[in-house]
Amino acid sequence: MPAALTSTTTSRRQFLTLLGISAAAVSCGTATAGSGSGSGSGGQVTTLKYQGSVGGVTLPELAADLGYLGDVKLEWIGNTISGPQDIQSAATGQIHFGGAFNGAIVKLASSKAPITSVISYYGSDQHSYSGYYVLEDSPIRTARDLIGKKVGMNTLGAHAQAMLEIYLGRNGVSKADAAKVESLVVPPVNTEQVLRQKQIEVAVLGGVLRDKALAAGGIRPLFTDFELLGPFSAGSYVMTKRFVKENPDTVRTFVTGVAKAIEWSRTTPHEQVIARMTDIVTKRGRNEDTATLKYWRSYGVAETGGRISDKEFQVWLDWLAERGDIKKGQLKATDLYTNEFNGHRKG
């Protein structure tokens, strides 16, 4: 197997193990980022550690550049390609906030990690979505054609795998046959290349990497998550409950600032948003390629200001219970999030 690919069984085991480690670490009181990092005059933390994205601009980074975070500063400690890894880092106190697919948040919360979601930060709409792509001449046309095939995605047990399983189920593929569809971990920046080299038959592509691949031609969509579920917010930023309790003013400033950045990105002319993002990436001096930013279209957040609703977690509570990953009724949607700190106006 090529080095860029990781098998379903191994990656799933590692994923679930890391969730357990995260929960244990937090319960043992090892979270360290919640205190002493850039404390303000009121004793609250005012410098937030986080992980970014190579060549991309996260909503907090955009909010900071727009001046929406006030006295709250961001401290970049590195990049992540995996939502589950990002929220694990937040749960164990390596960073102050992390973002992931809402289903991954449910899994981590079910492991007793004391986290709460504070704002949505990505989703699917007509511009921003994850697509499942095959080569133009691929014989794969239907869900049943996927049986025995390899599907490359950024991580397992999260958004991409959830959508794949929903697609298979809705198209009459039995659980036994669905288990024969092999999900493989492929770094997002390599996914297009791995597909074109025929190391996988299907590639999950989203955002600027999707549009860049489409512009090059030679691939076609099998389905998209937007076609499956319509517009929806798919992921949230989480913080530990302890951090939220001890730093309410900081959390309110952060969440409201990100909410404003969401709406700024919706209402500002597309060319201006891309120009701003390009300037942000250039100024931070990490030797990143800004060429893909021209393909950016939307963050895909469904609700105004990134407010979270029950439905955004209930669909994944049901899915995970059906898979046997959590117990039915173990958690309620209202246990998983708060809109208390979102000061952006409703409507």
Dump pLDDT digits (tens) for 252-266: 999 999 999 999 999
Instruction: Tell me which residue range forms the domain holding 252.
Output: 12-122+234-335
Query: Would 342 be classed as within a structural domain?
Result: no
Tell me the pLDDT band of 40, cut-offs 50, 70 and 90.
Answer: low
Distances (CA, A) of 127 to 58, 130, 210, 276: 17, 10, 11, 19
pLDDT on residue 85: 87
Confidence of residue 247 (pLDDT cuts 50, 70, 90): very high
Which pLDDT score, from 0 to 100, does residue 39 have? 59
Per-residue pLDDT averaged across 237-241, rounded? 97
Assess whether 252 and 115 both reside in one domain.
Answer: yes
- pLDDT of res. 346: 59
User: Distance between CA atoms of 165 and 269, rounded to whole angstroms?
Assistant: 36
Both 93 and 164 in one domain: the answer is no
Q: How confident is the model at residue 21 (pLDDT cuts 50, 70, 90)?
A: very low
For residues 35-50, average pLDDT: 76
Residue 331 has pLDDT above 90, yes or no: yes
- Same domain for 19 and 151, yes or no, is no
* Average confidence (pLDDT) over 220-240: 92
Can you say whether residue 222 is alpha, beta or left, with left for phi > 0 and alpha for psi between -120 and 50 degrees? alpha
Is the same domain home to 290 and 305?
Answer: yes
Q: 280 pLDDT exceeds 60?
A: yes
More confident residue, 77 or 297: 77
CA dihedral 222, 228, 233, 237 (to 10 degrees): -60
Exposure class string for 15-33: b at 16+ Cβ within 10 A, else e: bbebbeebbebbeeeebeb
Number of domains in the chain: 2
Give the global pTM. 0.78
CA 17 – CA 324 distance, rounded (Å) = 16
Q: Mean of the pLDDT values across residues 226-240?
A: 91
Q: Which two tokens stand for residue 346?
A: 């409703």
Based on the domain organization, do 87 and 135 belong to the same domain? no
pLDDT of residue 11: 44
What's the whole-number mean pLDDT along residues 157-177? 90
Please report, as a single letter, which amino acid is at residue 321.
A
What average pLDDT is seen over the chain? 87
Q: Which of 211, 229, 247 delimits the end of a domain?
A: 229
Q: In the prediction, which pLDDT does 313 show? A: 94
CATH number at residue 180: 3.40.190.10
Say if residue 153 is in the same domain as residue 75: no
* 139/93 same-domain check: no
Q: What is the pLDDT of residue 33?
A: 58
Band of pLDDT at residue 295, cut at 50, 70 and 90: confident
Whole-angstrom Cα Rg for the chain: 20
- The average pLDDT across 284-290 equals 88
Task: Using pLDDT thresholds of 50, 70 and 90, give the confidence band for residue 17.
Answer: very low
| Residue 218, in any domain of the structure | yes
More reliable by pLDDT, 54 or 172: 172
- Note whether residue 2 is domain-resident: no
From 229, 260, 281, give the residue that closes a domain: 229
Between the two ends of the chain, the Cα-to-Cα distance in Å is 50
- In this structure, are 148 and 196 located in the same domain? yes
Confidence tier at 83 by pLDDT (50, 70, 90): confident
Q: How far is CA 263 from the centre of its chain?
A: 19
What count of Cα atoms within 13 Å lies in the side-chain half-sphere of residue 257?
Answer: 23
CA 38/CA 49 separation, integer angstroms: 10
pLDDT for 129: 84
Same domain, 36 and 92: yes
What does the pLDDT average to over 63-80? Answer: 95
| Low-confidence winner among 76-80, 155-159, 270-274 (lowest mean pLDDT) | 155-159
**38: pLDDT confidence band, cut at 50, 70 and 90?**
low
Per-residue tokens: 193: 């290349």
The answer to whether the CB of 237 falls within 8 A of the CB of 117 is yes
pLDDT of 228 reads: 87
| Same domain as 238, residue 116 | yes
What's the whole-number mean pLDDT along residues 260-284?
A: 95
Q: What is the pLDDT of residue 37?
A: 57
Task: Name which residue leads in pLDDT, 181 or 328.
Answer: 181
Q: What distance in Å separates the CA atoms of residue 24 and residue 92, rounded to the nearest whole number? A: 9
Is the residue at 3 inside a domain?
no
The last residue of a domain, from among 229, 244, 276: 229
CA distance 65 to 59: 10
